[in-house]
Each structure stands twice: as C-alpha cells, then as structure tokens.
Structure 1
C-alpha cells in the first residue's frame, strides 16, 4: 500500500515530485484557489506559510504537515485545511518547513518555532486572538515540539488547543513501532527507522529519547487541551496511547479518539472513519476555542 519505490533508494526529492503528481498510495492533493502564500523571516532565510482563510477569521490554526520529516509539503492538504477554516473560523496556516535528509534536525523544528512566534505576534492580523496548533504524523511531532519550545525558550503558551493526529512522539520508537513489521499499511517499522536516520543522522536510538527530540519524555505540564487521534493498525499506535496518558497525568485536558482497524494516514481516504474523525477533530477545536 505504499505504491512507489523506496525514497531511500531513489532519493527523497524524486519521491516528493512523484507524490506531488498524485502517484503512490495517497490520493492526488487538490489545490484550493483560496490558498495564499505568505513569506516571513525564518532561521535560514525566507520561510513560506500557506494560508487558507474563512469568510470571517477569529484566529489561526497553525498546521505542520506529515511525511516523516522527509516528504510532504504545505500545499498538499488544502482540502483538509479548507474544512478547518470553514468549520472553526480559524485561518489555517501551514508551515513549509525544511525537510531531511537535505536539512536534518534542527532545521524543521526551528522553522516551525519561528512560524509559531510570528503567528503569535501577528494574531490580530488574522482577525482574532484564538490560536490552535496541529498536524499529522511527523507534523504532530513538530507541533508538540513547537509548544514545548515556546514554553521553555520563550515563556509562552499561546495555544488554546492541539490537534495531534497519528503522531510520532518517541523517536526512539515505542513498542508498536518496533514490532509492527513489514505489513504495507502506509507506515512500516523500516520506514520509521529510515525517517529517523534521515532526521537525526548519527544519533542513536536511545539518544533520540532526549526530551528535546521526543516529546513523550518531556515535562508536559502547563500545556493546552489536546486531542490524540489514532487507528489500531497504525505502527504509531503506542505513541498516541502513551502521549495521551502522559498529557493527562501532567494535569492537562486530553482526549483520545481510537479507530479500530484504521491504518496510518487513514484520514487521507474517503471512508466512514475518516468522516467521523474529521468531525470529531472539528468539534474538539470548536469546544476548546470557546
């Protein structure tokens, strides 16, 4: 169910270009004529943000796309972000962060941190004071890292809600990730290993469990309400189970939405579980932003 050559064999850029053409397991990414690009000053030059606004904006949904820190792009989930904007009244802002292996850690997290600081400082430009954050897969990891960086480095916690969808929170690999094996349900154990090696070259599996790299091991006190979404046939199942438990144990509001039989990336496909999950995500955001 992966549908194309391995990126580590043919090169990440070749697979990125193929995915942009709609090749592989995921459906073609339809572009919205409502989307606009904004450029801000980033850690390594100009940083692009893709924005999708509702008819009347009350704030921002800061989004980080998935792709294992290697694949994906900010313009490959316009339909999802249209739904967020129209259902929540938030302007969706997706970060075009730098990708590994060309730009390993800390490039991507640095870009997301810079985007979050800029959005936090310019919320009034988006029509309100509400700020949520979210992402899928590696994007959920980057969203969690961004919250922790803003709290620990800048003394800020501007977010009212975190929407974390089938995220990876332990880069040293949880039991479900280690034991998943080779079944081709989008994400396999070898994929997780290869993505980790690209993002953190030369860093051992144990060293990847540093709180600065793996949010599961961080101090999670003082964070905003979060929704964790996961399928039971996802190699990252334990990441969401464990992170939900630690988020709640730290005194934060935490919700867990589990989909029996759903694989990694399931919300990309038009199934009843997808529609149920998206409705739950939108409900969570609206309730948290009241």
Structure 2
C-alpha cells in the first residue's frame, strides 16, 4: 500500500468513526426489524443500474473501452463514502452502513459475474472480456478496516464516554465534510491534464450515468414505500459506486486503458459532487419544514 493509499484509508476510517459517534445500537436493531429496506438498497446496485447500463451500451455507439468502463463501474457497489454522505443528508445512516456491508459481500460474486456476462453479450465489448479475479481477502480487509472497526469503535466510545463524545462529535463531523471537499479538489488536481473541452462529452456521460443510479434508487424506494430517511439512504447507495475498486480492476486487468481510467476517475469525482449536492438539498428542505 502506498503512502497516499494509507492516508486515504485513515481519512475514510476517521470519517466512518465520526458518523458512528451519532449512532446507537438501537438504530441497527430497528434496521434488523425491517430487512426489506436493506433489500430495497441492494436492488438498484446489483440489478437496475448494471442492467440499465448494459442496455444503454447496446443502444449507444460509444468506443468499446468506454462502454466496458461504464459496465465495470455499474458493477462495483459503493463503499464507506456513501455512509458519510447519507449521514450528512440526514438519511438513515444505520441502514446505509448495513446496505454497504451486505453489498460488499455480495460483490465478491456479483461484480465479476455482472461484468462478465454484460461485456460478453455486447458485440462491441465482447473483445474486451476478461476474467476478473477479485481477491476476497481484499474485500474483507476493506470491510474490517474501513467500515466494521471504526464503526464499532465509534459506537463503543459513544456508549462508554458520552461526555467525550459530545466534545469531539462536532469537530470530527466538520473534518468529515472538509475531507469530502478535499477529495473533490484532489481528484480535479490529479486529473488536471485531462481537464480539456474534449473531456466534456465524457463528463456528460458520467453525469447522466450517475443520475440514473440516483433515479433507480428513488424509484425503488418509492415503489417499496420505505420511509423518507430510508429513501435518502437508498438513493445515495444507488448513486455512489466504488470507482476506486473499478480503477484497481482497470489497472490490473486492462493495463490502465486511458478511456476506462477517464470514466472511472470522473465517476470518482462526480458522485461526490452529486451526493453532497443532494445532501445539502435535503438539509435545506428539513430546515424549511422545521420552521
């Protein structure tokens, strides 16, 4: 692991810890009593967005590497950032964490399966078919280090040290928001050589793709009639894909193909922008209703 990856991992773990300080075990008990809401969050990630993306690549006349990248990103469910965004948007954070944990386990099988059949069944991308080899230990380490451990630590601190929790909750919450904004700036800086007018069509494609993920989350939550806070969590989970995992697969399996790297990188930047924008809208909506 490089220094930058280590720092990023520590930042993500801290963000999850700060979220956990405002959670209680009763929040997870309530989620356990409504498993239907977890299923609601998995449908957009593993069925609607992948299949919808596959159908779009059949209809669109795009370069095969771009279509393959779209399919790959759609096959990689979101990570811990979705939990922070959900929390900031005052959605059901416990539900978001539960969906992320279950999705990470399902991804061991579903990510290679979805990518393989969708690429193979599209004539334009059939030549791009590769056998994905995702190391299960890597997924487990990610779950334990970036989600389970900091979440358990935060819950423990909040339960055993309420006075300390009250003092550090706000500073850590502010840090989480600052870190999200820093990710956007850093992502733009690292990709500055690609920020040209020629990139606009790719950006438009990513924005439309991400909007579909959010829309599928909203449609699923509305159809299944989950509560408002649950619907926010489902929408964010549907619209935030694990672009980091996608970039890792592109590097290992596709020799860092430029077209695929561009799509995955733009996704990594844009889904934070769209997620934060949606969270800010929800916070303002709540503020208006409170008056």
Greater RCO (CA < 8 Å, at least 6 residues apart):
2
More strand by share: 1
Same fold by TM (over 0.5)? no
Query: Quick check: which one's helix share is greater?
Result: 2
Taking structure 2 as the reference length, what is the TM-score of the superposition? 0.27
| TM-score, reference length from structure 1 | 0.28
Larger Rg, first or second structure (1 or 2): 2
